[in-house]
Structure 1
Amino acid sequence: MSAALITAIILPALVGAALATAGRFAERIAVPVSLFTAAVMAIAATIAAITGAEVTGGVPAMLGAPGPDLRVDALAAVVLPTVVWIGFLVLVFATADRTRPAARFHGLMLLFLAAVVVTVTATGLPLLLAAWEVMGATSYALIGFRWQDRNRVAGGFTAFTVTRAGDLGLYLAAGAVVAGGGSWSLTALQSLPGPWVHVAAAGLLAAGFGKAAQLPFSFWISRAMEGPSAVSALLHSAAMVAMGGYLLLRVEPLLNVTGWAGPTAAWLGVTTAIVLGVIALSQRDVKQVLAASTASQLGFVVLAAGVGSVSGGTAQLVAHAATKALLFLTAGAWLTATGTKQFTGLRGVAARWPAVGVLATVGALSLAGLPPLSLWYAKDVVLAAALEEEPWLYAAGLAGAALAAAYSARIIALLWRRAGTPEASWDDEERGTRRVPRLAVVPMVVLAVAAAGLALLGTPLLHPMLAPLSGTSVSWPELAASGAIAVVVVLLTLWRTPTVRSGMHWFGLERAAVAVIATPTLRLAAALARLDDRYGTAVDRSGRALEQTARAARALDQRGPAAVTGWIGSAVAVLGRLARRPQTGQVHHYYIGATVTVAAAAVLLLVVR
């Protein structure tokens, strides 16, 4: 039903824009209006996913390209409901968490969700670009939502500019389509002629890597943790970061037809899974652990796109979205209650709020890949495809999975083991409320059920049915091996929690980016600005010289030819006036004049003779 898909986009976009711009006048109605809108949006998106909705006659028609603007195919039918329902649950949590001002926050969140829905269902580059831009702009506003704090605004700016650098790849791909005379459809990009198919693949890789926080773009997600907890729970679980991986899954045929883009995505994805896994294991801030683990887990989605396992990557994306949204919400609940994100203040906090502690444990165990939880099977589908492609890819993927088990178990150990007086470290970021609202627990419970319930994907009954869909048959020895590794690593970490410091500062990724890219770019820009100033000065001086020359020429003209011309004109005018005086119209005057003239002529003749 196209009406359902249109509703899932237009309704949140209009309501979100109204709330975001209404200011304090909409504060009282913002929450109920937002929740109602999000619920309707989620229901409409689910209907669209079930019916395979299409919307036609817009951008493609204007560009002379056949096909629909928006379409819910098999891939979108899985991702679309995931995004909108997690968005609804996050808004429920934000209501309990009392994120203020509510009108602006809920308005921006609804606008962001509308842009994500378009991103998921767009069939061509023009509409995808438009939604991508709105998604980036609203993410900047949400991360820097508390704009009075310069650090938070700076964090949003860093996230925005770094992802924007990757977003240029979409414009590069669009340029390749124009130059190659190809179709705007994402499913037809692999048909571009000659070198343009490689240009398009390179551009889309850059855009996907940037949004998914893959190396070397990964550091932006660390700075994005300055945003409110609800923002992190949506943007860095099911929405913005996930859209980078989703884009690469969407254009998987293009990646594999080039011969180099697929392997590049696969190796970069698995490298990110390992490097960011080490970084996650080194952090002392719970949100930083979750940020690094997000990039690490998205590495498996990128790996799936590289090896052609679209279904495996989709399963990984969906399972990770539910799991990570749950963990971000639990971290946000503890931040509100204790006023800190640091592990020194959160040691043993799970025992103080056991309901949240149990839910966080479910999320952490799922993130660890423990069987039979969701990420265990999803990750193994990806690893099985990697094994068929390259054994070393499989080995590297297992290493990334082991690191995931380690940093997840470390979270569990630190949250349940009380050491010292953690209360002394409370309120270091904000004043804690010392309570977790019951309403805030409701979306956590739903997400925990989703994170654990998706474990059905790994049951013996459904495993044979899903193997054809994934394109790869996952053997039981592979499932058992990865499950055993996860269990052993979790037990070892719980027994003796490791202390890793090497990646505490994200291996200097931001400093490296500043030194290698930002600083040279700024210096080049400054040099070009100075050159432009010199050109501007030269043009100004030339203009002033021409003006002075023109003034001199005008003065000379006024004193020379113009003056002579004026004198001649004046003389002619005087003569004309003199000649006009005798012309009185009186006949006797003419007679007198004629007599005088004849007499004068006679006298002249006599004198001359």
Structure 2
Amino acid sequence: MLWSVPLLPLLVAPGIYWLGRHGSNNQGSDKNSGRALLGLVGAATAIVTSLIAGLAILGDWSGVYRWSSQIVLLVGMTPVSAVFAIVVPLIALPIILYSVYHESEPGGGAASTGQAPARLVALLAAFVGAMELLVLAEDLVTLLIAWELVGACSWALIAHEWRETGNLRDAARAFLVTRFGDLGLYIAAAAAYAGTGSFAFADLTQLDGWLLNVFIAGAVLAAAAKSAQVPFSPWLFAAMSGPTPVSALLHAATMVAAGIYLVIRLHAEMSAVAWFGPVAIALGLTTALAGGVVACLQGHAKKLLAASTSAQYGLMWLAVGAGFPGVALVHFVTHAFMKSALFLAAGIAERHVGSYSLDAMRLGRLLPGIAAATMVASLALAGVVPLSAAWSKEEIITAAGHQASWLAVIAVIAGGLSALYATRFQLLAFGRGSRGGTRTAPSPPGHTRMEAAALYLLSAGTLVLSLLWWPGVGNSLADLLSIRLPPTRPWELIVSLLLVALGIVLGVWALRREVSDSSRQRARRAELAEWFGLPALAQQGVGTVMAFSHGLARFDDRVVDAGIHASARFGAWLATLGDRRGEGWFDGATSQLAKGVDWMGQWARQAHTGQTHHYYTGIAAGLAAILIILGTGALL
């Protein structure tokens, strides 16, 4: 029965595509009806998937499929997978509705005039199914199948607008970076099978020694690449070539979330080695700080949010490394709602000004309702009490302090950076300045209402999750999910809130200073905002590899191929020689051999005279020869 959770959206996706292509190709009012039908089916798919997942949790469903005598595919429901299985379709629901009215088929023009995005909605549904399979997997083979499906869907979604210059290149770049990390998961699966003879998660407790270390190293590589941790973080910028709904789902609850899910789900096995905790903490803190700085310098709305995603997932890695995977799980939920809302808000702003440049926006006066809903999510990202993400962020800081006080201090600084870039995003995108808001006409009212409704739903989810601050709610949730929360220390909370306030003040100050920056300062800021030049360095590395590859290709052409051609020419020469002279030589040699055999036969036949005295003479001569040989040997 549990197989129905991932299979439903995966099997419905082709039907959504067919329905969208045949139901929304008409013009006029029929076209809007087609969009409505597409949105209804897409939303229903997400709702039914969430309901079935809820029934699976209540009924403790599981699933087994025997592929072969050695490979058995398993799906099951744990507290971690249950949270992901519910959150993924819940986040996808408003995003699918938003995409129906915000996007069009590639080449179709603006959403108001083009065809409904049937392929996009179908891919989003398939993406949800692939992610559901990933979080329900109870063995490494099923996990790898889902991992590959998630990667393939992400490539197709990022390259959705494939006619746009550079989109296919960016999709390939994001795909290749994550594929490099995926190799780690294959290595981990091989190590698990070599050590236990099984791919099941339940048998990983039997793994030990160097195979356990190999398994954990491979899993960490795959998870770090997927969740965009340093040095893999820049692939998220390439992924920004995808449509806004893709960015919202990709960075909120699916693609990037797959990495942190893996380390949360396998935390018990990974924490068996001493080096996992320090590595996870180092990765998380480095990414949280670097991503925070990059977000503070970014002038592109979606890239700012992408850098923020890396930073927030870095905080989740910190919690896992500190020994509190449940805290990371809660922060995943709060982050999913607020970050998807911010991405949708960025898409609405871009529709109005025709650009993702934050300098061109300031739409607070034109879109007061959108600005208010975005502010809820921005304040949550900043960590302002009593919003949802503030609670989970404070739990992460407490978890870091449980390991060492200096870790808590660094986590507090990362939280201050969050407040700074969240303030900057809100004021630049939806501040009440004089810039932006008048460059293009607003979207048609119907479309704007549906896009706004999706944003309002996600912001409302952020507000509902703020109940975590209510006394006893957080602890009750922890008991329900069987997770452990670290004991709160007052000084950590006080210092954290002070840094949040300081970050907001610095955000306002930095925004005012940006206006008077020189072109040289802006260029320097833009250079640092591209992950400190890491993509350019990676490009140089790729260039070096390509140059080496070209050198090997030239060596192959000039040396290896030359040897092959020389061998071919030598073979042809031997064939020609055999054709011209070899036949005569072989025939002559055969004739001479036959003559020699005939002569020897004639000579041997002469001894057979038929006369008895000739045979006796031969026998006597043979005996004499034997006696002479024996006598000679005795004398010697």
1:186 maps to amino acid: F
Structure 1 match to 2:581: 556
CA distance in 2, matches of 1:319, 1:186: 27
Per-residue deviation at 1:324? 0.3
Q: Which runs of 5+ in 2 are unaligned?
A: 26-33, 107-116, 515-521, 592-636
**In the alignment, does 2:326 pair up with 1:302?**
no
**In the alignment, does 2:100 pair up with 1:95?**
yes
The answer to whether the Cα contact below 8 Å between 1:75 and 1:314 also exists between their aligned partners in 2 is yes
Per-residue deviation at 1:172? 1.6
Per-residue deviation at 1:63? 2.3
SS at match of 1:69: strand
SS at match of 1:422: coil
Structure 2 match to 1:124: 139
**In the alignment, does 2:69 pair up with 1:56?**
no
The answer to whether the Cα contact below 8 Å between 1:182 and 1:192 also exists between their aligned partners in 2 is no
Structure 2 match to 1:486: 500
Per-residue deviation at 1:164? 1.2
SS at match of 1:39: helix
Task: State how 1:370-519 maps to structure 2 within 5 Å.
Answer: 370-423=384-437, 426=439, 433=443, 437-466=448-477, 469-494=483-508, 497=511, 499=514, 501=525, 503-515=528-540, 517-519=541-543
The answer to whether the Cα contact below 8 Å between 1:331 and 1:341 also exists between their aligned partners in 2 is yes
CA distance in 1, matches of 2:432, 2:367: 13
TM-score (norm 2): 0.81
1:342 maps to amino acid: S
> Residue deviations 1:196-230, cap 9 Å, x none?
11111111111111111110011110111111001
Structure 2 match to 1:313: 328
CA distance in 2, matches of 1:522, 1:390: 45
> Residue deviations 1:160-180, cap 9 Å, x none?
111111111111212222333
**Alignment equivalent of 1:15, drawn from 12, 34, 37:** 12
**Alignment equivalent of 1:523, drawn from 530, 536, 547:** 547
CA distance in 2, matches of 1:463, 1:149: 46
1:171 maps to amino acid: Y
Structure 2 match to 1:574: none
Pair 457,423 (structure 1): closer, same or farther in 2 beyond 3 Å: closer
Pair 130,64 (structure 1): closer, same or farther in 2 beyond 3 Å: closer
Identity %: 31
Structure 1 match to 2:599: none
**In the alignment, does 2:373 pair up with 1:359?**
yes
The answer to whether the Cα contact below 8 Å between 1:280 and 1:289 also exists between their aligned partners in 2 is yes
> Residue deviations 1:414-437, cap 9 Å, x none?
23434444357x46xxx9637662
> Residue deviations 1:459-479, cap 9 Å, x none?
222244356632422345533
CA distance in 2, matches of 1:485, 1:496: 16
Q: Which runs of 5+ in 1 are unaligned?
A: 567-609
Pair 224,432 (structure 1): closer, same or farther in 2 beyond 3 Å: farther
**In the alignment, does 2:110 pair up with 1:86?**
no
CA distance in 2, matches of 1:12, 1:119: 13
Per-residue deviation at 1:288? 1.2
CA distance in 1, matches of 2:159, 2:378: 28
Per-residue deviation at 1:553? 1.7
Out of 518-527 and 404-413, give the one that drifted further: 518-527
1:518 maps to amino acid: V
SS at match of 2:3: helix
SS at match of 1:315: helix
Per-residue deviation at 1:394? 1.2
Task: State how 1:141-152 maps to structure 2 within 5 Å.
Answer: 141-152=156-167
> Residue deviations 1:462-502, cap 9 Å, x none?
24435663242234553344234323432453466364937
2:448 maps to amino acid: P
Structure 2 match to 1:340: 355
**Alignment equivalent of 2:42, drawn from 34, 41, 44:** 34
The answer to whether the Cα contact below 8 Å between 1:339 and 1:432 also exists between their aligned partners in 2 is no
The answer to whether the Cα contact below 8 Å between 1:50 and 1:77 also exists between their aligned partners in 2 is no
**Alignment equivalent of 2:564, drawn from 514, 539, 542:** 539
Pair 386,421 (structure 1): closer, same or farther in 2 beyond 3 Å: closer
**In the alignment, does 2:249 pair up with 1:234?**
yes
> Residue deviations 1:3-45, cap 9 Å, x none?
2x32222222123245558994465565444333333223222
1:36 maps to amino acid: A
CA distance in 2, matches of 1:327, 1:542: 66
CA distance in 1, matches of 2:532, 2:9: 40
TM-score (norm 1): 0.85
**In the alignment, does 2:272 pair up with 1:247?**
no
CA distance in 2, matches of 1:397, 1:421: 35
Pair 19,542 (structure 1): closer, same or farther in 2 beyond 3 Å: farther
Per-residue deviation at 1:409? 1.1
The answer to whether the Cα contact below 8 Å between 1:267 and 1:393 also exists between their aligned partners in 2 is no
CA distance in 2, matches of 1:340, 1:402: 28
Structure 1 match to 2:603: none
1:49 maps to amino acid: I
SS at match of 1:123: coil
CA distance in 2, matches of 1:260, 1:462: 34
2:550 maps to amino acid: A
1:535 maps to amino acid: V
CA distance in 2, matches of 1:27, 1:553: 74
CA distance in 2, matches of 1:520, 1:346: 40
The answer to whether the Cα contact below 8 Å between 1:338 and 1:434 also exists between their aligned partners in 2 is no
1:320 maps to amino acid: H
Please report the RMSD computed on the Cα atoms of aligned residues, expressed in angstroms: 2.8
Per-residue deviation at 1:351? 2.0
CA distance in 2, matches of 1:268, 1:445: 34
Per-residue deviation at 1:299? 0.5
Per-residue deviation at 1:234? 0.3
CA distance in 2, matches of 1:222, 1:45: 32
CA distance in 2, matches of 1:496, 1:513: 30
CA distance in 2, matches of 1:524, 1:170: 28
CA distance in 2, matches of 1:43, 1:311: 24
SS at match of 1:465: helix
Q: How many residues align?
A: 557
Pair 528,173 (structure 1): closer, same or farther in 2 beyond 3 Å: farther
SS at match of 1:57: strand
> Residue deviations 1:299-322, cap 9 Å, x none?
011112211211100001111011
Out of 207-216 and 495-504, give the one that drifted further: 495-504
The answer to whether the Cα contact below 8 Å between 1:363 and 1:451 also exists between their aligned partners in 2 is yes
The answer to whether the Cα contact below 8 Å between 1:143 and 1:224 also exists between their aligned partners in 2 is yes
Pair 322,171 (structure 1): closer, same or farther in 2 beyond 3 Å: same
CA distance in 2, matches of 1:20, 1:130: 23
**Alignment equivalent of 1:185, drawn from 192, 200, 204:** 200
CA distance in 1, matches of 2:585, 2:291: 83
SS at match of 2:471: coil
CA distance in 2, matches of 1:74, 1:310: 12
